[in-house]
């Protein structure tokens, strides 16, 4: 599980694992090139996931949320940040 922390133009993705408190990925909103929900073929066991692609970061990052409401909230917040930048 992970959580999102935002400040004006910077998002930090933080793992909530008890031993890991440092950000796993830091990205400027302007560096985010794609955000979308995973489809059932990509993640058949968990529908509460989304894909994030960031400039200067290899590949894609898949995030898992606790529920659909959290998924919608996070993706909406990130999309708003991208559009505002």
**CATH at 16:** 2.30.29.30
Give the domain range for residue 21: 2-84
* pLDDT tens digits, one per residue of 22-33: 556 677 888 889
Could you tell me the pLDDT band of residue 20, with boundaries at 50, 70 and 90? very low
Tokens of 68: 């659909």
Residue 75 phi, psi dihedral angles, 5° rounding: -65, -35
Measured CA distances, 71 to 8, 33, 38, 40 (Å) = 20, 18, 11, 15
Domain total in the chain: 1
Q: Per-residue pLDDT for 43 more than 50?
A: yes
Asked if 43 and 53 touch (Cβ cutoff 8 Å), the reply is no
């Amino acid at each position: 599980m992970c959580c999102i922390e935002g400040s004006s133009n910077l998002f930090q993705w933080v793992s909530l694992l008890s031993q890991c408190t440092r950000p796993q990925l830091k990205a400027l909103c302007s560096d985010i090139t794609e955000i979308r929900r995973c489809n059932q073929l990509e993640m058949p066991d968990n529908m509460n996931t989304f894909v994030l692609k960031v400039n200067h970061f290899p590949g894609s990052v898949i995030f898992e949320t606790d529920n659909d409401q959290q998924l919608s909230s996070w993706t909406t917040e990130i999309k708003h940040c991208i559009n505002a930048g």
